[in-house]
Structure 1
Amino acid sequence: MRHPPRSVLAAVAGAAALLGSVTVPVVTASGAAPACSVEYSVTSQWDSGFQGAVRITNNTAAMSSWSLAFDFAGGQELTQGWNAKWSQSGTTVTAASESYNGSLATGASVSAGFIASWSGSNAVPTSFKLNGTSCNTAVEPTPAPTGPAEDGPPVLHVSGNKLVDAGGATRRLLGVNRSGGEFMCVQGRGIFDGPVDDASVKAIADWKANTVRIPLNEECWLGLSTIDPAYAGTNYINAVKDLVAKVKAHGMTPVVELHWTYGQYTGNSAGCSDVHASCQKPMPDMRYTPSFWASVANTFKNDRTVVFDLFNEPYPDRATSTTTQAWQCWRDGGSCPGIGYEVAGMQDLVDSVRGTGATNLILAGGIAYSNDLSQWLTYKPADPAGNLAAAWHVYNFNTCANESCWNSTLAPVAAQVPLVAGEIGENTCAHGFIDQVMKWFDDRGLSYLGWTWNTWDCSSGPSLISSYDGTPTAFGTGLRDHLRALNG
């Protein structure tokens, strides 16, 4: 809860033993600043309970949400709290940001309070972690990655129907999606959903993932006036670049992907009536998307380890009268039946990327929310760099969600070009379905990425984790254990 009830405040005010404040000092090495500092105060205490407070100061990059963890050392039991979502498991207490105070800029502070019971002693906690990073101690240099990650992720290119590295060895993209960059900024709530610090990225690598797909928003990247400047333009781009760098530092391939785009669509299966990039549109728009991809390509063209995924889940088939019209719209764009804005086709986007001189690997998903690749080969965009692969998405509720469909529509594509399942998932909060998907893809040496590395309700996300330290949901356990079995 946000505030204690008035009856509790009255009891505190009338407590026989009133202590004032007991504060944990910030201790750092000489000349070194802590990544974060926490002041813990016992503001009042009575026979069986006390009121406490924490003041958190962020000394690193701005964050869109925060979670503070510490351990009670004297058997204390949390009873209620305010200005944070308070919880306790064993001795560990967690205070997570509310929707109204999650944004914490560099140098900014936030306070939250609580009431707890005690008996015997009321020892003060000695260590605190903010989004997994230790506070009140000097920042230690990040150790250099060891083992295979030492040289970073490979530069990938297409060779026949395989992805290969510079030495010609076959590679697979196996990992997760890290959602947030597509929606937080346009909703005015930040840039990423949850922490994107080194500890949270390392937790992905600890699952033995080798790839992280990062969804983006074109209006935020381009810094359009409708987006809060704190979350747009240079600030947004730098945040994305920083996350890409962290992903690479742990030896994983970053996939930057365009998720939400401009263009008003109110037809069949519309996600929103807004012209702005506030939901998934049936196709990208000619007004902004080519500029978005030219900018992204210019940003990363000198780093060919970064992969470009052109557009999340096209669904022109929901707007057009025929499947042929849908595939023509998908490749060629222009004035597409049922879509009220000028569409940027996949060929337009390939041309935008290649026009910058970038030769990075490109992924292009099919129609029907990337679940239909039946005519992908027929309408495959021309790529002068010869570095284009097919992307596909599947959930247990999709049309093409069984081996019969995969054998008839996916296998022919995979026989000619590399195939990457950019999203796999199920809304059952279990992993029986993705187990089938992974087996089918493993048998053919193909790539797949689980949706999603966010702490959502697994039935609506679906979510792979319940905590950014990598604690899996029942659904996520299936992907984690499988990746570890493959790459452990």
Structure 2
Amino acid sequence: MLVAGMMMAVNAQAATGCRVAYKVSSQWTGGFTANVDVTNLGDPINGWSLAWSFPSGQAVTQAWNATVTSSGAQVTAVNASYNGAVATDATVSFGFNGSWSGGNAVPAAFTLNGVTCTGSVGGTPTPTVTPTPTTTPTSQPGDPMATVAAMQPGWNLGNTLDAIPDETAWGNPLTTQALLHHVRSQGFNSIRIPVTWTNHHGSAPGYTIDAAWLNRVRQIVDWSLAEGFYVMINLHHDSWQWINGYPGDRTTVMNRYTALWKQIAATFRGHSSKLVFESINEPQFTGTSGDDQNYQVLNELNTEFVHLVRQSGGGNANRLLVLPTLFTNAEQGRLDALTTTFNQLHDPNLAATVHFYGWWPFSVNIAGGTRYNSDVEQDLTGTFDRVYNTFVSRGIPVIVGEWALLNWDHNRPGVIERGEFLKFLEAVGYHARTRKLTTMLWDAGQFLNRNELRWRDQGVYDMMKASWTTRSGTASSDQVYLPRSGAITARTLTLNLNGTTFQGLRQGSTNLVSGTDYTMSGTTLTLTPAALTRLAGNRAYGVNATIEARFSQGVAWPISIITADPPTQAAATGTTTSFAIPTQFRGDQLATMEAKYADGSPAGPANWTPYKEFWQHFQPDYNANTIILKPEFFAEVNDGPVTLTFHFWSGTQITYHLTKSGTTVTGSAT
């Protein structure tokens, strides 16, 4: 009894005191996020309860690092299991999301374990709180324009965590720290990690994400952040797997959508602000009455995404959030609809995203779209101008979340001619940079060999990298064709200086001689017969030499000196599922193919143009000396005669005649 009495006397005389810092970190219509720091100024405590009264009718809706209960305006926050012990002069923190209407005044007083917090041990109650306005946040989030600018350039970990059903299903290896380190070392400042969640969560109502999958996503995010990347994650192929059904089943889809984002937001709430959330990849919808309804339902999903992420608190209160247009398309109507969403949200830390795969005929090589010409250029500048004028000029940053050409692929060589692709890369870099757009290369393995950690085409990467900071000179072509026999005459190329100055030609480490090997007149470069004869060597079919045009800045322009004769073809028989034209290419390369009926109208698929789609409808096989006509081509060809015209990069055109009868196909070169 004596010991107990002594203990009671000691406790009664224990020093008590506390200080509270209450700060509204984010506020929106009807809601806010608050962070509370409680500093113990007295003797150590083990277990705490902080109480206050809301003066303006506010209410706590969600809390973290504490259990919060309310009775009318009275609120009590009790420690969690892991933060109950608070030493002298130590601070414990918790936070919450709340609701408000009419005003959001700060509480006037706080008590810690029943003792009023005065900012000192004992004394007159003078709580130290950080006041907040009733209509705007007390602290502005980070500058979204600066954040997006710092993300340039970006790279997509494509066909990986977005692959269905798992990470390696679409041919890419498991992601490693070595891969991420390599990408970072190549100059990329951000990484977009597309994630498809469809096959990795449970059923309604919880839609609980598989722990192993969520941990794998978090692991790659953490590795990427450790490398210094800005990181963007999203809901990816979920867009067409189930989100697209939202117009017809709003309750189910919205419940699933919000359940996933609530779990993702909670998982990454404490992560660095360099982690960015993108609501949906390429949103699209079924069963709508048209674009107006499409815009409406996308607005609903984007708006709900922003609200629930903000309400999750922590770092999510100010995290950069990225909203897509319909289809992530840059048509003006799509941009205007997203602008309406931004205007309604009044959230200062948002960015817009679109995707860019170039002028479609060039991107897939159809309708004669073999070259980087004025159509491609106008599509590029028009797209980038629209997003700049709609968003960037108003202070809303834009991320081009995916870009490339659709059919540039190491598995489909020749679809896009290399020099034409280099010109596209150079232009995208320049036009994006001058309009303050951040670009994130779509790479599903067609650019970086992830097994060997090397670029599949170093020259392609070099041009891309140079475009991030400067312009490079190009030319009308990267090929000069010469005949196998007979006299060699001069050849000309038109240089596209792009603000540079021409410095000369070089073969390896040897400079070619101006006046002897080449001449310049304005932007016309002429290679002399003597130089071409020397470069052609024994004039074997194919590339005999490569020279480079050097400019005052940027990368050099490669020029292949090629020996070729007009290709020849032979008769063939086959079926609509297996037909190949024997072809001696003789050093030349196929550019495109036309197909016409006897009356001159286009034959086969895409019947609005005689020029068919490279690889989808026809494909050269240089090793087998054939040109394959695909079943997809014959599936839309009428019975009867068809005339094919093959266009080659040398400029040569040759004609071939087909006759289709049911599933039987015959062909002849005359």
TM-score (norm 1): 0.52
Aligned equivalent of 1:218: 197
Counterpart in 1 of 2:393? 415
SS at match of 2:339: coil
Structure 1 residue aligned with 2:349: 387
**Separation in 1, partners of 2:178, 2:431:** 32
Conserved 8 A contact 2:168-2:174: no
- The whole-number CA distance in structure 2 between the counterparts of 1:441 and 1:451 is 15
For 2:340, the equivalent position in structure 1 comes to 378
Shift of 1:407: 1.9
Counterpart check, 1:310 vs 2:279: yes
Quick check: 2:177–2:223 contact (8 Å CA) kept in 1?
yes
CA-CA distance at 1:233 after TM superposition: 0.9
Structure-1 residue corresponding to 2:563? none
What is the Cα deviation at residue 251 of structure 1?
1.1
Which amino acid in structure 2 is aligned with residue 402 of structure 1?
A: L
1:444 and 2:405 matched: no
Per-residue deviation, residues 104-158 of structure 1 (Å, max 9, x unmatched): xxxxxxxxxxxxxxxxxxxxxxxxxxxxxxxxxxxxxxxxxxxxxxxxxxxx965
Corresponding residue number in structure 2 for 1:482 = 464
Q: State the one-letter code of the partner of 1:251.
A: G
Q: Is the 8 A contact 2:179 2:450 kept in 1?
A: no
The structure 2 residue matched to 1:349, chosen from 290, 305, 330, is 305
Preserved contact between residue 450 and residue 479 of structure 1 (Cα < 8 Å): no
State how far apart, in whole Å, the 2-side matches of 1:431 and 1:296 are.
39
Q: Distance in 2 between matches of 1:247 and 1:383?
A: 30
Distance 1:349 1:192 in 2: 32
Letter in 2 for 1:246: W
SS at match of 1:201: helix
Distance change >3 Å, CA 187–CA 248, structure 1 → 2: closer
1:265 counterpart residue number: none
SS, match of residue 173 in structure 1: coil
**CA separation of 1:486 and 1:405: change in aligned 2, threshold 3 A:** closer
Asked whether the equivalents of residues 158 and 388 of structure 1 are also in contact (C-alpha less than 8 Å), the reply is: no
Identity of aligned residues (%): 17
* Structure 2 counterpart of 1:287: 255
Contact 2:359 2:380 in 1 (8 A): no
Q: Say whether the 8 Å CA contact 1:350–1:381 is kept in structure 2.
A: no
Contact map agreement 2:384 2:435 (CA 8 A) in 1: no
Q: Tell me the alpha carbon deviations over residues 353-406 of structure 1, each in whole angstroms, 9 at most, x when there is no partner.
A: 112011211011101343344312123264465211001101024599431243
Which residue identity lines up with residue 307 of structure 2 in the other structure?
Answer: D
Superposition map of 1:16-415 within 5 A? 159=143, 162-164=145-147, 171-184=150-163, 186=165, 193-224=172-203, 233-261=210-238, 285-303=253-271, 304-316=273-285, 320-332=288-300, 345-357=301-313, 358=316, 359-372=318-331, 373-375=334-336, 376-380=338-342, 382-383=344-345, 385-397=347-359, 401-415=379-393
Shift of 1:486: 4.2
In structure 2, the CA distance between the partners of 1:320 and 1:434, relative to structure 1 (3 Å rule), is: farther
Amino acid at match of 1:426: L
Q: Which amino acid is 1:162 matched to?
A: M
What residue identity is the alignment partner of 2:262? A
Task: Point out where structure 2 has 5 or more consecutive residues left out of the alignment.
Answer: 1-139, 362-377, 409-420, 471-670
What is the CA-CA distance between 1:330 and the residue it aligns to?
1.4
Q: Which amino acid aligns with 1:323?
A: D
Query: How far did residue 327 of structure 1 move?
Result: 1.5
1:431 deviates by 4.2
Please give the alpha-carbon distance, in whole angstroms, between the structure 1 residues aligned to 2:245 and 2:343: 20
Partner of 2:87: none
In 2: Cα distance, 1:371 partner to 1:319 partner: 22
In the other structure, the counterpart of 1:139 is none
Counterpart amino acid of residue 165 in structure 2? V
Instruction: Tell me how far apart the structure 1 counterparts of residues 230 and 324 of structure 2 sit (CA, whole Å).
Output: 18
> Which secondary structure state, in structure 2, belongs to the residue aligned with residue 379 of structure 1?
helix
5+ residue gaps, structure 1: 1-155, 263-270, 333-344, 456-462
Equivalent residue number for residue 104 of structure 2: none
Q: Secondary structure at the match of 1:315?
A: coil
| Contact 1:218 1:288 (8 Å CA) reproduced | no
Deviation by residue 1:51-74 (Cα, 9 ceiling, x = unmatched): xxxxxxxxxxxxxxxxxxxxxxxx
Quick one: distance in 2 between partners of 1:178 and 1:377?
28
Return closer, same or farther for 1:244/1:208 CA change in 2, 3 Å cut-off.
same
Equivalent in the alignment of 1:266: none
* Distance (whole Å) between structure 2 residues aligned to residue 179 and residue 282 of structure 1: 26
Contact 1:363 1:391 in 2 (8 A): yes
Q: Note if contact 1:420-1:447 (Cα within 8 Å) is conserved in structure 2.
A: yes
* Cα pair 1:328 1:379 within 8 Å, conserved: no
Larger Rg: 2
Q: 1:385 to 1:322 in 2, by over 3 A?
A: closer
Query: Match of 2:335, as an amino acid?
Result: S
CA distance 1:206–1:187, change in 2 (3 Å) = closer
Partner secondary structure for residue 363 of structure 1: strand
Structure 1 residues 188 and 242: alpha-carbon distance in aligned structure 2, compared to 1, 3 A threshold: closer
- Shift in alpha-carbon separation, 1:441–1:189, aligned structure 2, 3 A: closer
Aligned residue for 1:308, secondary structure, equals: strand
One-letter amino acid of the counterpart of residue 304, structure 2? D
Residues 420-473 of structure 1: CA distance to partner in whole angstroms, max 9, x if unpaired?
100011035334334322211101222110001x32xxxxxxx22234443223
Corresponding position of 1:14: none
Residue 129 of structure 2 is matched in structure 1 by none
The CA distance in 2 between the partners of 1:162 and 1:381, in whole Å, is 17
Going from structure 1 to structure 2, the CA distance change for 1:383 and 1:158 (only over 3 Å counts) comes to farther
Residue 209 of structure 1 aligns with an amino acid whose one-letter code is F
AA aligned to 1:217 is: T
Q: How much has 1:206 moved relative to structure 2?
A: 1.9
CA RMSD of aligned residues (A): 3.5
Letter in structure 1 aligned against 2:449? S
1:424 pairs, out of 400, 403, 425, with: 403
Secondary structure in structure 2 of the residue aligned to 1:286: helix
In the alignment, the residues of structure 1 paired with residue 218 and residue 462 of structure 2 have an alpha-carbon distance, to the nearest angstrom, of: 26
Deviations 1:465-487 (A, max 9, x none): 2344432234x854554336747
